[in-house]
Structure 1
Amino acid sequence: MSKLLPLVLPLVLGVAACDGYPRDANDSTRRADEHAMRVGVSHDPPFVVASAGGREPAGIEIAMIRDLARAREADVEWVVSGHDALMRELKALRLHAVVGGHVRGSAWESEVGWSLEYRLRPAPQGPLVARRLALPPGENAWQLVVDRHLFSDDAALGAGPRR
């Protein structure tokens, strides 16, 4: 047994150290739960409709965020602005997500985190459209929370949420 101890001890300590992973580098999950989910909104109809005059935003992705907040018993603070301004705020970890206006291959592609891809049908007879939510970089636990919620009712992640 004493010969096995040097081999087993590092393994046991390594497994014990993994408790609580994934983690957020800057506590996004805790901040969302204790304060509110701060979500950037960029006008991108029909997925995101940023209304003027202080009205709440609307659209398919807005409903998805409201569902996530309701499931977590969290409030949502909507931040309406231009896409690049919102992405700068997200990268600086001042937002929990940005919805609307994302283009594949943009300069933001490697600067922030992204949810798993999901597919939405913006019109009853229209095609499915691939979409993603922009998430703060390095906030791995928060990304897992979002992805689990997006796909919680689906048999396979590849199918995307049913909308």
Structure 2
Amino acid sequence: MRLSARMRVAVVTLLALSSLSLAGCGAQIPADPSGTLAAVEGGTLRAGVTPNGRVMDVSDDEPSGSEADAIRAFADSLDADVEWTVGSEEALVRELENGGLDLIAGGLTDQTPWTDKAGVTRPYAEITAQDGRTLKLVMLVPLGENAFLSRLETFLSERAKAGAL
């Protein structure tokens, strides 16, 4: 089926108008349906942490260790303060699902069982387990908050390249 020149112009015009109207909708990809990134920027990063002797110590007033340092630096990059919540993985994931946390860290690995309850970053660092296995560390974020996840992953990747993890 051959289209006449007039039909081709009409089809091209229709496609151009469709593209413009979609662009005008203000849709951004990746997006945060619950607005996590926008809420954290210039505000407060609500970080849930669980103790892990290799990367997260929660025995003092403020968490310490390589992951706590990374979370503080990420918050600084967003001009945000950090509000810490210490708990078990299960309690923190429940709080994440209920909208009370923005991320979870504490020695979580890419083998985490929470993939159906939270967004998982790409592995950003490796540690050696006591049995000699190499473990790949990840952090958890609210499901579907892809702009926030993307910003966190980019930050962690840049930090790893700089040797800061």
TM-score, structure 2 as length reference:
0.80
CA distance in 2, matches of 1:127, 1:83: 21
1:63 corresponds to 2:76: no
State the match for 2:3 in structure 1: none
* Cα deviation, residue 57, structure 1: 0.7
Residue-pair matches, total: 154
Matched, 1:79 2:88: no
Choose the corresponding residue for 1:12, options 20, 31, 34.
20
- Please name the residue that 2:125 is paired with: 119
Q: Match of 1:38, SS?
A: strand
Indicate the percent of aligned positions where both proteins have the same amino acid: 26
Shift of 1:39: 0.3
Counterpart AA for 1:56: E
Shift of 1:33: 1.9
> Quick check: 2:128–2:134 contact (8 Å CA) kept in 1?
yes
Contact 2:107 2:137 in 1 (8 A): no
Which residue matches 2:145? 139
- The amino acid of 2:28's aligned partner reads G
- Give distance in 1, aligned partners of 2:159 and 2:53: 25
Q: TM-score of the superposition, structure 1-length normalised?
A: 0.80
Contact 1:24 1:139 in 2 (8 A): yes
Ranges in structure 2 where 5+ consecutive residues have no aligned partner: 1-5
- Measured against aligned partners, the alpha-carbon deviations of 1:69-104 in whole angstroms (never above 9, x if no partner) come to 122221000001111000101112211111115352
Alpha-carbon displacement from aligned partner over 1:92-145 (angstroms, at most 9, x marks no partner): 221111111535252x2221101111123469xx88631100111111111111
Native 8 Å contact 1:118 1:161 kept in 2: no
Farther off after superposition, 12-21 or 109-118 = 12-21
The aligned amino acid for 1:129 is L
Counterpart CA distance in 1 for 2:159 and 2:108 is 25
Report how far residue 6 of structure 1 moved: 2.0
Distance 2:49 2:27 in 1: 35
Runs of 4 or more consecutive aligned structure 1 residues displaced over 6 Å after TM superposition:
none
Question: In the TM superposition, what is the alpha-carbon distance from 1:13 to its structure 2 partner?
Answer: 2.2
Alignment match of 2:50 (pick from 42, 48, 51): 42
**Which of 141, 150, 154 is equivalent to 2:156?**
150
